[in-house]
């Protein structure tokens, strides 16, 4: 029997035959050049993914007009000078055997730099939900200019060799803003009702169709439901989708939400099940007779095959999974599901890094992503004897990469099992996927021939006798124990004891520390205790609500009745109470029958001094440098191996 018979079946869209129904959707990378042209780094990134032969690859957002570019590295398609680079991009996609599309984009009121200059455009002068600044309300002349810009961009895309264009009318950007009653307060023919708010999108599609001809496919990406209070609903959208198809849309790419929607649903965190949005694609299919693409945390090709078999959608977008493992599709074709590196939906490298740090794309569990031009693909010239201290995410990634490059690797882990902090981090709600990934990585390391010695501490005696050529110090961190009167009372425990189950939860619990460890421990405790309080010294939560996971975490704790005291410090712990200082005033919290310490880690670096004393080349990685996220741990582990 053929594997994945539905997902791997061909489909024809307006004369364009796609080999299969797997779609790599447009994902921003920040890999473009500063002049908005295609860079060598972007071509390398795309080449790596095109090798998997998905049916369709839609290249990332490309600005149809200078007034719609979000950042200077967003690809441009508003001038003929961009065509040579875009042609290289389409050729790179075609070389792998995929159909090539490019997404046409205008940011509208979400263009931060243009908002600052008073030049951003929008349907109305309603402030951006993200930046809080209003755009300039578009005149009819402005609207004509943007319609023509979309059309001219589509013509350039065809000249550059793309097989299709996708018009971006989702996620809170300009066309989506016209659809939204939150952003569009117009009272003319382009506002006041869903039909009127959809008019500008209809006219953009019509203008594109007139300019590219009848034989060129047009995809339309929509947020089927705005998923925000006061926004349009799925029912609203279904009334106008037929108008978009009548105007010339050949495909509907059914997404969800905007970047102003709470919880980051456009790049859903692990709280959402894979394929959670497929039912909306089915609703779209019920009102139009064109192919519909579904999207929503897809990682498993078998699930995608079932979605197509059920008739929920005609094609399936795998977004972040292409970052985590660009070879997942060939592995699935061969039945090698155990080899697939599954996206953990952490958003650290693909969303948070781009949006909050302004950096280029990465993947927290795949160090190759975004670094294809420097990723070493061939074995090291001189194999070395490499010892790695620590089998957490950093140490295991270092071992994986060092072994791949031909070095003789041994890993020493003082605990009884590999996994480091992720053994505990995977216990709170919705975090199992983290544990699954670190077990997958451990398995791959062992399969490569690396010996992982658990229950063994790498010390000076072993180093002096073994004399490795290089040591990677990935020893993690030590638990920080605050100096508080009463910290040694029997009801005081640390977060790791609670998560591991060696100490049962109390009845009335106070957690010291509102960072990620404290908040996730509280998330674990919340349904298991009567009262729960988290005390954090900082005046603002270290766990940002702007991140998808952070928002969901705060919401669950609030809904669960957890009290979060910010700007507070624990003054003393007593038998049945805790005294907390807040704004110079002392509060006595009682009853408290259990105190959980979760103030974090401090780097463990003793081995570095030993290596220096023995003159053994070495480097630090992960929490041994400074306790941070998975992405820093894995990247430092990988680069430590690359640098040997």
Q: Which CATH architecture has domain 385-479+602-642?
A: 3-Layer(aba) Sandwich (3.40)
Residue-level pLDDT at 588: 96
Q: Where are the domains of the chain?
A: 11-339, 385-479+602-642, 492-599
pLDDT at residue 73 greater than cutoff 90: yes
Over residues 592-641, the pLDDT tens digits come to 999 999 999 999 999 999 999 999 999 999 999 999 999 999 999 999 99
Nearest to 56 by CA among 94, 92, 107: 94
| Burial grade of 273 (CB within 10 A; 0-12, 13-18, 19 or more) | exposed
364 closest CA partner among 479, 495, 270: 270
Give yes or no: 337 in active site.
no
Question: What is the average per-residue pLDDT within 175-194?
Answer: 98
Q: What are the DSSP calls for 42-83, one per residue?
A: HHHHHHHHHTT--SEEEEEEEESSGGG-SSTTSEE-SSGGGH
Q: How far apart are CA 49 and CA 24, in angstroms?
A: 9
% the chain with pLDDT above 90: 97
Task: Work out the average pLDDT over 9-15.
Answer: 97
Give the residues across from 105 on adjacent strands.
63
CA distance 154 to 176: 19
Reply yes or no on whether the pLDDT at 266 is more than 90: no
The answer for residues whose C-beta is within 8 angstroms of residue 632's C-beta and 6 or more apart is: 622, 625
Window from 119-123, 164-168, 263-267, 275-279 with minimum mean pLDDT: 263-267
pLDDT(264) > 80: no
Pairing assessment for the beta strands 492-494 and 477-479 based on DSSP bridges: unpaired
* pLDDT tens figures, 235-255: 999 999 999 999 999 999 999
Catalytic hit among 45, 78, 173, 551: 173
Mean of per-residue pLDDT scores for the chain? 97
The conformation of residue 200, written as its DSSP 8-state character, comes to: H
Residue 52's pLDDT is 97
Decide if 535 contacts 570 (C-beta within 8 A).
yes
- Which residues of 398-554 form beta strands (DSSP E)? 408-413, 451-454, 470-473, 477-479, 492-494, 508-512, 531-536
What is the tens place of the pLDDT at every residue in 146-177? Answer: 999 999 999 999 999 999 999 999 999 999 99
Q: Does 1 score more than 80 pLDDT?
A: no
Burial of 5 (0-12, 13-18, 19+ CB in 10 A): exposed
Residues 6+ apart with CB under 8 A from 100: 56, 57, 59, 89, 90, 93, 94, 161, 162, 163, 164
Residues in the chain: 644
Q: Comparing 57 with 355, which gets the higher pLDDT? A: 57
- The mean pLDDT value for 104-111 works out to 97
pLDDT of residue 261: 83
Over residues 446-469, the mean pLDDT reads 97
Please choose, from the candidates 186, 274, 202, 262, the residue with its C-alpha nearest in 3D space to the C-alpha of residue 226. Answer: 262
Q: Is the pTM of this model over 0.75?
A: yes
Report the DSSP beta bridge partners of residue 218.
165
CA distances in angstroms from 491 to 481, 508, 522, listed in the order given:
15, 11, 16
What is the rounded average pLDDT of the residues 209-220?
A: 98
Q: Is the pLDDT of residue 451 over 80?
A: yes
* Rounded-to-integer distance, Cα 435 and Cα 28, Å: 28
Per-residue confidence (pLDDT) for residue 263, from 0 to 100: 75
List the one residue out of 70, 81, 144 whose CA is nearest residue 112.
70
d(CA 168, CA 60): 10
Q: What residues have CB less than 8 Å from 250, skipping those under 6 apart?
A: 13, 14, 217, 218, 219, 290, 291
Q: Looking at the domain 492-599, which fold is it? A: FAD/NAD(P)-binding domain (3.50.50)
CATH number of 11-339: 3.20.20.70
The answer, yes or no, to whether residue 323 has pLDDT greater than 80, is: yes
């Amino acid at each position: 029997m053929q594997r994945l018979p539905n997902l791997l079946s061909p489909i024809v869209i307006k004369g364009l035959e796609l080999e299969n129904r797997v779609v790599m959707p447009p994902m921003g990378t920040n890999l473009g050049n500063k002049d908005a042209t295609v860079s060598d780094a972007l071509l390398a990134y795309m080449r790596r993914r095109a090798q998997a032969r998905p049916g369709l690859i839609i290249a990332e957002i490309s600005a149809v007009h200078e007034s719609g570019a979000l950042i200077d590295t967003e690809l441009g398609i508003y001038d003929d000078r961009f065509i040579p680079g875009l042609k290289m991009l389409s050729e790179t996609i075609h070389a792998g055997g995929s159909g090539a599309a490019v997404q046409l984009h205008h940011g509208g009121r979400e263009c931060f730099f243009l908002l600052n200059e008073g030049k951003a455009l929008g349907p109305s002068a309603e402030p951006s939900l993200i930046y809080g600044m209003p755009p300039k309300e578009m005149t009819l002349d402005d609207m004509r200019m943007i319609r023509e810009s979309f059309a001219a961009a589509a013509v350039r895309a065809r000249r550059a060799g793309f097989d299709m264009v996708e018009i971006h009318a989702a996620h809170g950007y300009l066309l989506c803003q016209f659809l939204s009653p939150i952003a569009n307060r117009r009272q003319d023919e382009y506002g006041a009702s869903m039909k009127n708010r959809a008019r500008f999108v209809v006219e953009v599609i019509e203008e594109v169709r007139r300019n590219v001809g009848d034989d060129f496919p047009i995809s339309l990406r929509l947020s089927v439901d705005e998923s925000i209070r006061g926004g349009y609903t799925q029912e609203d959208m279904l009334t106008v989708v037929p108008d978009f198809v009548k105007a010339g849309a050949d495909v509907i790419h059914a997404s969800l939400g905007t970047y102003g929607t709470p919880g980051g649903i456009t790049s859903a965190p692990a709280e959402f099940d894979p394929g959670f949005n497929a039912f909306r694609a089915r609703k779209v299919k019920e009102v139009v007779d064109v192919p519909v693409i579904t999207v929503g945390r897809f990682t498993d090709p078998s699930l995608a095959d079932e979605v197509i078999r059920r008739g929920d959608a005609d094609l399936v977008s795998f977004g972040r999974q292409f970052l985590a493992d660009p070879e997942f599709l060939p592995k699935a074709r061969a039945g090698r599901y155990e080899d697939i590196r599954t996206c953990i939906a952490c958003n650290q490298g693909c969303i948070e890094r781009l949006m909050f740090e302004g950096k280029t794309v990465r993947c927290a569990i795949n160090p190759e992503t975004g670094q294809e031009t420097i990723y070493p693909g061939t074995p090291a010239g001189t194999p070395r004897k490499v010892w790695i201290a620590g089998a957490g995410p950093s140490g295991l990634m270092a071992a994986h990469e060092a072994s791949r490059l031909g070095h003789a690797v041994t890993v020493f882990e003082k605990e009884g099992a590999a996994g480091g902090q992720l053994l505990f981090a995977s216990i709170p709600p919705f975090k199992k996927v983290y544990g699954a990934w670190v077990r997958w990585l451990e398995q791959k390391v062992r399969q490569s021939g690396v010996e992982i010695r658990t229950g063994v501490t790498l010390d000076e005696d072993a180093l002096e006798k073994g004399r490795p050529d290089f040591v990677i110090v990935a020893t993690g961190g030590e638990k920080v124990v605050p100096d508080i009167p009463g910290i040694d009372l029997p009801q005081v425990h640390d977060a790791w004891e609670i998560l591991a189950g060696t100490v049962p939860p109390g009845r009335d619990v106070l957690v010291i520390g509102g960072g990620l460890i404290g908040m996730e421990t509280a998330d674990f405790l919340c349904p298991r205790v009567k009262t729960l309080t988290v005390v954090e010294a900082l005046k603002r939560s270290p766990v940002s609500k702007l991140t998808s996971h952070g928002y969901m975490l705060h919401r669950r704790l609030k809904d669960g009745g957890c009290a979060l005291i910010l700007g507070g410090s624990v003054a003393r712990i007593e038998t049945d109470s805790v005294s907390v200082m807040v704004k110079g005033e002392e509060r006595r919290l009682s009853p408290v029958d259990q105190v959980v310490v979760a103030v974090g880690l401090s780097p463990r670096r003793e081995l570095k001094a030993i290596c220096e004393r023995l003159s053994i080349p070495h480097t630090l990685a992960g929490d041994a440098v400074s306790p941070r996220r998975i992405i820093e741990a894995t990247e430092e582990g990988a680069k430590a191996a690359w640098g040997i």
